[in-house]
Structure 1
C-alpha cells in the first residue's frame, strides 16, 4: 500500500497478508539467548498457507506462491503478546506484524485470523526472505517426521508428530506392497496431474484396506504418509455428523492423505437417511451431530465441490461385506487390498524383528523358524503375535516356551467373547 507520510512525499509500503485458522495460530515463547527476548513463532502446518498477496496502492493484488512455516525473530520483551502490532528489525528493515481475528457465524467453520507483515519500501523481497527462512527452519524440524491430524471439537487439529517408519519394516505381502507404492508414485507425479487435467478427470485416488482387526491397515497408511512425505488426516466416522464431515473435507489441503477408519459405520447409519425426513427439523445441532455420518453424507463429502483434488483417500474396514457397493465403486475406490491374519512368514519376520539385536544371528533365525512352526497359521493377527513376543522380548527361548499356553489362553478369550455376543443377540 502506498500512502502519504510525514516525509512530505509518498512513503511506499508493502503489505503481505496471510489468513490463518486458529489451528495455525501465532504464539510467543521466551528464548534462551543471553539478552531477554521473545520469539514470534508463526506455525503453519502442512500446505495450508500458500497464496499470499502483495497489496498495492491501486487496490490490485499479485498472488505470491510461498509456503510460510516458522518466523523466528527476536524482539524486546516489553512488547505485549496479546494480538499486538509488533515492530521489529529483520535484515536492516523495520517490519510490522499485526494479527486480527475474523470470527465466523457458522458453528462448522473455524475462527480465522488475518496476519499481516508490512515494511516500508517498493519491494516485498525482504518479506519473502523472512518467510523462506521460516520455511527452511520448519522443514528442518520436520525432517524424518510425519504430521498426524485428528478431529477435535469438529475441527482438524494436529495430534502428534510421528517418526517415519520405513516401508521395509511393514510386514505385508512384498509383491502387493511394491505394486501399491508404484501406483501411488505414479499418481503423485506432476505429469500424471497434467494428464488428468487435460482430460477433465478429477485428480483423486482411492484405496480400500480391508481385513481383520490388528492386521496392519492403519500402520501401512501411516508408513505411506511418511514414505511420500505427506501429512495424514485421520477421521473416525463414528465421531462426526454429515455437516461437520463436509466441512472437514473442504478444509483438507490439496496434497495429503485422508484416512477414513471403519467406514462400515456409514453403511450401518444408512437407515438415518430414511428417518431424516420424519425427524424434527428444529433439532439442535448437537443432536444432529450425534446421529453420525450417513451413507449419502459420506458420498457427498467424497464427491462434492469442496472435496480437494490431489489427495489420497484411504478407507479401512474390518467388514468389507457390510460396505455399500456405491461407496466402493470404481472412481471412489481404485484398488482394494486385503489384509490377512498372520501366516508362517509374517510370524517368523515378527520374531526376527523383536530379537534382531541378538549377537547370534543364525541362532535367532533358527529360533524364528521354530517359533513360527508352533503358532497356528492364519488364526491370529500380527498384533496378537507381537503382543506375545513383546511380553518375552528379553528372551527368545522364553517366547517359544510360552507359545502353547498363550494359544490356549487367546482361544479361550475368543470363545468367551463369542458367547457373550451370542447371549446379547438372543436377549434382543
Structure 2
C-alpha cells in the first residue's frame, strides 16, 4: 500500500512528471540515434563494398583515366590533366582530359550505382612524386568484389590501348621507374641490320627464355637472362635492343650506373621493382667500373663519380637478393676493359660481337634504302666500299645514304669515297 501510494503521489506531481517525460524523450532519442548509427554501420559493412586506391598504386592513373572516359562523364566538378601524344609522323599533339575533381561523384556501371570519392591530403606529401597524397574510394551496393575487378581490368586495358604498338622507355627517378618522353613507335627488327645470324640467335634465345619459366623452376635455376653486346661505336647495339623490345612487345628501362645518386641499395631496389615485361639496359658498362686487374696502374675516367660498388653491382645481378624474371642487356665498346667476374656465365649468358659492316650488311642496307636496285648494283656498291680499305660502321653507311637519299643507285655507287667526308667518319 505504501509503495502504491508513493507511485500515485509521484505520478500526480507535475515537476516529476515533466522531468520524467523529458528524460524519457531524451533517452528514447539517444537510443534511436545509436540504433540508426549501428544500423548504418551494419548496412555499410554487410550490404556495401568499398575499394580504396591510393596514388602510389600502379592502377591509380589507369583508374582516373577510366573514370574520365567511362565513368562520371556528366559531373560538373572537374579538374584538367594535360598530356602529349606523338603521331605516326612524329608530330607532338597536346590533349586535355577532364577528370572528376576532389570530392564525391556518382555514376552507374553495369546497373550498379557507384560513388566515387576523390580525396587529397594537403598536409601529406608523396615523397617520391612530390605531390599531395591522394586516393580514390569506390563504394557500391552489395558484396560482389568482382565488379571492382572488372573496373580495374577495363582501366588497365584502356591504358594498354594508348601504348599499343609502341615502346615505352623508362628512366629511374628516385626509387621508382617513370616513363621517359613519349611512347615510341615500335621499331621493326628488320630495320636494324646486323651481321648474318646475330639478330636471329638473340631473338630465339629471348623467346626461349620468356616461354620456359617452368623449365627454370623445375631445375632450380634462377629465372633471369643476361646479354652483352660489344663492338665499336655506331654499329647498332642500342638500336638493336630498342628494336628487340618492340619485337618482344617489351619496354626498356634505361639505367645509368654513373648517376651520382645511385647506391647499392637503390640499384638493387630498382632492379627489383622494374615494370613487368621490360628489358633493363645498362649502356657503356665499361665506363662505370675499371677492371680490377688494371686499377693498380690505370684509373677509370669515372672513378669516384658514382656511389655504387663493383661488388654491389655483382650482387644485384645474381646475388641472394637479386630479382628473377628479368632480362638485362649490357653494351660496351671495349670488352677488354670489363672485369671477368662481370661477364662470367650466370651474369652474362649470351655474348655477341656487333662490329663494322660485313658484305652481308652492306648488301642488305643498300637494298633497303634503294628498293629498286638490282643484284649487279648491289655488288658494285659492296666492291666500292671494300675498295676504300677502311672499316665502316652501319651509322656511317646510314649517314651516307641519308645524304644521297634523292640520288640514283648509280650515283651512290660512284660516290663511295664520300662515306668518310663531311664529318661522317
Both proteins in one fold, TM over 0.5: yes
Aligned counterpart in structure 2 of residue 127 of structure 1, from 139, 143, 148:
148
Distance of 2:344 and 2:398 partners within structure 1? 35
Shifted more, 170-179 versus 91-100: the winner is: 91-100
Sort the Cα spacing of 1:339 and 1:384 in 2 relative to 1 into closer, same or farther, 3 A.
Answer: same
In structure 2, the residue corresponding to 1:138 is in which secondary structure?
helix
Task: Specify the alignment match of 2:231 in structure 1.
Answer: 211
**Which residue of the partner structure matches residue 77 of structure 1?**
76
The equivalences for 1:317-332 within 5 A come to: 317-332=332-347
CA distance in 2, matches of 1:330, 1:253: 25
* Post-superposition CA distance 1:143-202 (Å, at most 9, x none): 22121112346642212312222323331234232222221111111xx21222233321
Residue 395 (structure 1) aligned to one of 389, 393, 407: 407
- Is the aligned partner of 1:380 residue 2:379? no
Alignment of 1:8-407 (within 5 A): 9=43, 11-21=46-56, 26=61, 40-41=64-65, 72-73=70-71, 74-79=73-78, 81=100, 83-95=102-114, 96-98=116-118, 115-152=136-173, 155-159=176-180, 160-189=182-211, 192-240=212-260, 241-243=262-264, 244-268=266-290, 290-304=305-319, 307-356=322-371, 361=372, 363-376=373-386, 379-396=391-408, 397-407=410-420
Q: Structure 1 residues 254 and 19, CA, compared in 2 at 3 Å: closer, same or farther?
A: farther
Q: 2: distance between equivalents of 1:126 and 1:4?
A: 26
Flag the 1:72–1:303 CA change in 2: closer, same or farther, 3 A: farther
Q: CA deviation at 1:316?
A: 0.7
Q: Which secondary structure state, in structure 1, belongs to the residue aligned with residue 274 of structure 2?
A: coil
Note the aligned Cα RMSD (angstroms): 3.7
Q: Structure 1 regions of 5+ residues with no counterpart? A: 28-38, 44-69, 275-287, 415-428
- Deviations along 1:109-167, one digit per CA (max 9) or x if unpaired, are 99986544332211022222222222333333332212111234664221231222232
> Would the aligned equivalents of 2:54 and 2:60 in 1 still touch at CA under 8 Å?
no
Paired residues of 2:196 and 2:360 also in contact (CA < 8 A): no
Q: How many residues align?
A: 351
TM-score, scaled to structure 1: 0.70
Could you tell me the TM-score, scaled by structure 2's length? 0.71
| Structure 1 stretch displaced more, 365-374 or 80-89 | 80-89
Q: How far does residue 301 in structure 1 lie from its aligned partner after superposition?
A: 2.4
Structure with larger Rg: 2
Gaps of 5+ in 2: 1-36, 80-99, 297-302
Per-residue Cα deviation, 1:80-115 (whole angstroms, up to 9, x for no partner): 55544544332232322445677567x799998654
Q: Per-residue CA shift, 1:267-312, capped at 9, x if unaligned?
A: 23979x99xxxxxxxxxxxxx9953543223223223555431111
**Per-residue displacement from partner, 1:40-93 (whole Å, max 9, x unpaired)?**
4169xxxxxxxxxxxxxxxxxxxxxxxxxx974224132555544544332232
CA contact 1:253–1:308 (8 Å) conserved in 2: no
User: For the residues of structure 1 that align with 2:335 and 2:131, how far apart are their CA atoms?
Assistant: 34
- Report the CA distance shift for 1:94/1:331 in structure 2 as closer, same or farther (over 3 A): same
CA distance in 2, matches of 1:8, 1:259: 53
Contact 1:22 1:113 in 2 (8 A): no
